């Protein structure tokens, strides 16, 4: 996963909590999933205006690539975009960067397969058309593998 932050239009700050730090002084590897979850939720709210009272979103799979350690006092930003859209599923890329005096350094990347889900019927459902259109419009068709 060689990512360029220039391909991303959306970014959100990530706040490191003291409880995120392990015994060696790094952010614990499991915490990155929470950072990515928070960033995805911000994206769904701010970009897609996803209506969670109509359809939920569940996670089917997550891949994480740890590239550089993150420490307690690092300033973090997470870039988020959709890279694939299916009928009921879509893939979200997340790039966690630390802000330094020299610019941004990519620390961790992640890809999450998400599924549009109806909790009442307990089944996957088509991605709502307004959300699908917003994904394509915001994240650009040239950057999305499949837009069905």
pTM, to two decimals = 0.92
CATH number (domain holding residue 19): 3.10.129.10
Residue 148 resides in a domain: no
Q: Which residues make Cβ contacts (< 8 Å) with residue 45, sequence separation at least 6?
A: none
pLDDT at 1: 47
Q: How many domains does the chain have?
A: 1
- CA pair distance 96, 5, nearest whole angstrom: 10
pLDDT in tens, 8-62: 999 999 999 999 999 999 999 999 999 999 999 999 999 998 988 889 999 999 9
- CA pair distance 23, 32, nearest whole angstrom: 16
| Cα angle 55, 14, 104; round to 5 | 120
DSSP 8-state symbol, 143: G
For residue 124, the SS3 value is: strand
H helix runs in 2-97, sequence order: 31-43
Range of the domain at 112: 5-143
Q: Which residues make Cβ contacts (< 8 Å) with residue 23, sequence separation at least 6?
A: none
* Residue 94 scores a pLDDT above 80: yes
Six-digit token string for 10: 């959306």
For the chain, percent of residues with pLDDT exceeding 90: 86
Residue 104 resides in a domain: yes
Residue 126 resides in a domain: yes
* Mean of per-residue pLDDT scores for the chain: 93
Using alpha carbons, select from 104, 106, 102 the residue that is nearest to residue 93: 106
């Amino acid at each position: 996963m060689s990512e360029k932050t220039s391909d991303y239009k959306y970014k959100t700050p990530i706040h490191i909590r003291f409880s995120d730090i392990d015994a060696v002084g790094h952010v614990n590897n499991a915490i990155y999933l929470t950072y990515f979850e928070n960033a995805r939720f911000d994206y769904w709210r701010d970009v897609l205006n996803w209506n969670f009272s109509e359809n939920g979103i569940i996670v089917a799979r997550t891949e994480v690539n740890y590239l550089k350690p993150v420490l307690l006092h690092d300033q973090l930003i997470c870039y988020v975009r959709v890279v694939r859209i299916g009928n009921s599923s879509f893939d979200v890329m997340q790039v966690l960067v630390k802000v330094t005096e020299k610019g941004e350094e990519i620390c961790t990347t992640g890809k999450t397969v998400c599924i549009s889900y109806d909790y009442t019927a307990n089944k996957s459902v088509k991605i709502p058309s307004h959300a699908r259109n917003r994904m394509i419009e915001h994240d650009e068709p040239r950057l999305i593998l499949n837009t069905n």
